[in-house]
Structure 1
Amino acid sequence: MRYLLYRLRRLAIVLGVVTFITFLLVNVLPGDVAYEMAGMDSSEEEVQAIREDLGLDRPVLLRYAEWVGGVFVGDWGTSYINQENVWEAITDRFPVSFELMLLAQIIALSLAIPAGVASAFRPNGRADRIIGSLAFASVSMPSFMTAILLIFIFALGFGWLPATGYEPISEGLWANLRPMILPALSLALVEWTVLMRTLRAEMIAVLQENYIALARAKGMSNMRILLVHALRPSSFSMITLLGLQVARLLGGTIIIEQIFGIPGVGRLLIHAVYTRDFIVIQGCVTFFALAFVTANFLVDIAYAWLDPRVRTGGAHG
């Protein structure tokens, strides 16, 4: 319990700092939502009247305090542009973004774990060199460039998968997954390399341990040694990276959703930036920060479960 409270306290501090800095930065961005609402031909008096009506003429700290108070009671504000409730706008779109991130992470792990195990089995062998070259080529391209290349090959070239669009799962599992394959693969092809290299390095060290030598002396197969005795203790750093990758995936979905026309939170954020809808920007960034700290908290729990020494160290840290 002490360990959990210690982690929760740290995450609450991080969340508070992120929301405060974001609120300050959003309010110094160029542009004015009042001009967007009033139109280009409006007078200065009309714009000022809108600013007063929205409360934008009040001090930033006062508006931040009011916004935080609203968040604590479930009121994340209302969009300045279309009067949509910010919390409902985010939660309606989050399942789409979550599905994209989940599929990307599943694909990344499906590539990273077998590749990492194969590379660690014989370091600097042929398989290790081939996998390392593929990983280097994969990580050298940002996700948006990978997305464009995948669209060119699989959508325009072969016509196997759609280039844009989204179908809810109510339309059928394949109808839902088919347009999500290319976006998820675009993210996964960047993320899997870090996981693979981390797992490889950890497993090489684990395979030098005495208990591994004892397992070999008992005649255990290489597959059993790798998957049963070496994989779990080699996964600690990779599990930590999974939590850190949430931030990268959240950032990646903002671009990928725009490229593939996916109606997720990232696309909502981009639209809010274009229209200077500051309250929606603040809500989206806060939601991303909340998702990030929650994912890292769950990773801490999983890490402590795998290694009880973490619980003792964290409780006294």
Structure 2
Amino acid sequence: MNYLIKRFQRLLIVLGVVTLITFLLVNVLPGDVAYEIAGMDSSEEEVQEIREELGLNRPVLIRYVEWVTGIFTGDWGTSYISDEDVWEAITDRFPVSFELMILAQILALLLAIPAGMISAFRPNGRGDRIIGTIAFASVSMPSFMTAILLIYFFSLHLGWLPATGYEPLSEGLWQNLRPMILPALSLALVEWTILMRTLRVEMIAVLQENYIALARAKGMSNLRILLVHALRPSSFSMITLLGLQVARLLGGTIIIEQIFGIPGVGRLLIHAVYTRDFIVIQGCVTFFALAFVTANFLVDIAYAWLDPRVRTRGAHG
């Protein structure tokens, strides 16, 4: 219990720091939302009236305290441009972004786990060298470049998958998944290499343990040894990386959603930046921060469940 309390306290501190920094940075960005609302040809009196109405002429710290108080009471504010409730705008689009992240993480794991096991079984062998070369080439390209190549090959050249668009799950499972495969793969082809290399290093060490030698002496198959006896103790560091990858995936979805025309939170944030809708920018960044720290909190719990030694160190640390 002490371990969870300490992790939860860190979550609150990180969230508080992120919201403060975000609010301050947004308020020093060039441009004036009052001009965006009133129009660039409006008089100074009209602009000042809008600033007064929105409270933009008050001190920054006072506006920050009011905004944070609203966050905790469920009031995330209203868009200056579209007059849409920020919380509703984010929650309406988050399922789309969440689906993209989950699919990307599943594809990354489906690539990383078998590749890591093959590489660890015979380090520096032919399979290990081939997988290492593919991983190096994969991680060398950013997700947006991978997305462009996938669109060219699978959409324009082969015509198998759509290049843009999104279909809700209500239209059918395949109709929903079909336009999400390329965006998810664009993210997964960058993320899987880190997971694979981490699993490989951990599993090479685990395979040297005495209980692995005992399992081999009992005549167990190599596949059973890898899956049953070596995979779980080799996965601790990889599970931690899954939590850290949430931030990378959140950042990646912002670009990928724009490329593929996916109506998620990332695309909402890009539109808010273009229109200088500061309250939506603050809400999106805060939501991303909340998702990141929550994911890492859940990873800490999973890590402690898998390895009881972590709970003991956390309770006394």
Q: Which range moved further: 41-50 or 74-83?
A: 41-50
The 5-angstrom pairing of residues 98-117 of structure 1 reads: 98-117=98-117
- Give 2:37's aligned residue: 37
- Give 2:222's aligned residue: 222
Structure 1 residue runs without a partner (length 5+): none
Q: What displacement does 1:218 show?
A: 1.4
- Give 1:135's aligned residue: 135
TM-score, normalization: structure 2?
Answer: 0.99
Q: Could you list the per-position Cα deviations for residues 90-145 of structure 1 after superposition, in whole angstroms to 9, with x for gaps in the alignment?
A: 00000000000000000000000000000000000010010000000000000000
Q: Could you list the per-position Cα deviations for residues 240-290 of structure 1 after superposition, in whole angstroms to 9, with x for gaps in the alignment?
A: 000000000000000000000000000000000011111100000000000
Q: Find the aligned partners of 2:148 and 2:9 in 1 and give their Cα distance.
A: 42
- Give 1:171's aligned residue: 171
Q: Find the aligned partners of 1:163 and 1:263 in 2 and give their Cα distance.
A: 14
Q: Which range moved further: 26-35 or 41-50?
A: 41-50
Structure 2 residue runs without a partner (length 5+): none
- Give 1:144's aligned residue: 144
- Give 2:242's aligned residue: 242
Amino acid at match of 2:229: H
- Give 1:251's aligned residue: 251
After TM superposition, which residue ranges in structure 1, 4 or more long, deviate above 4 angstroms? none
Q: What displacement does 1:295 show?
A: 0.4
Q: What displacement does 1:182 show?
A: 0.4
Q: Find the aligned partners of 1:32 and 1:146 in 2 and give their Cα distance.
A: 36
Q: What displacement does 1:213 show?
A: 1.1
Q: Could you list the per-position Cα deviations for residues 189-233 of structure 1 after superposition, in whole angstroms to 9, with x for gaps in the alignment?
A: 000000000000000011111111111111111111111111000
TM-score, normalization: structure 1?
Answer: 0.99
- Give 1:292's aligned residue: 292
Is structure 2 residue 91 aligned with structure 1 residue 91?
yes
Q: Find the aligned partners of 2:252 and 2:106 in 1 and give their Cα distance.
A: 15
- Give 1:208's aligned residue: 208
Find the residue that maps to 1:46 and give its secondary structure. helix
- Give 2:69's aligned residue: 69
The 5-angstrom pairing of residues 149-164 of structure 1 reads: 149-164=149-164
Amino acid at match of 1:289: A
- Give 2:275's aligned residue: 275
Q: What displacement does 1:46 show?
A: 1.3
Q: What displacement does 1:19 show?
A: 0.4
Amino acid at match of 2:238: M
Find the residue that maps to 1:65 and give its secondary structure. helix
Q: What displacement does 1:294 show?
A: 0.5
Q: Find the aligned partners of 2:222 and 2:261 in 1 and give their Cα distance.
A: 46
- Give 2:186's aligned residue: 186
Q: Which range moved further: 8-17 or 211-220?
A: 211-220
Q: Find the aligned partners of 1:87 and 1:5 in 2 and give their Cα distance.
A: 28
Is structure 2 residue 195 aligned with structure 1 residue 195?
yes
Q: What displacement does 1:45 show?
A: 1.6
- Give 2:232's aligned residue: 232
Q: Find the aligned partners of 2:297 and 2:40 in 1 and give their Cα distance.
A: 46
Is structure 2 residue 59 aligned with structure 1 residue 59?
yes
Amino acid at match of 2:4: L
Find the residue that maps to 1:239 and give its secondary structure. helix
Q: What displacement does 1:315 show?
A: 1.5
- Kindly tell me the number of residue pairs found equivalent between the two proteins: 317
Q: Find the aligned partners of 2:8 and 2:46 in 1 and give their Cα distance.
A: 46
Aligned sequence identity (%): 88
Find the residue that maps to 1:290 and give its secondary structure. helix
Find the residue that maps to 1:254 and give its secondary structure. helix
Q: Find the aligned partners of 1:286 and 1:2 in 2 and give their Cα distance.
A: 27
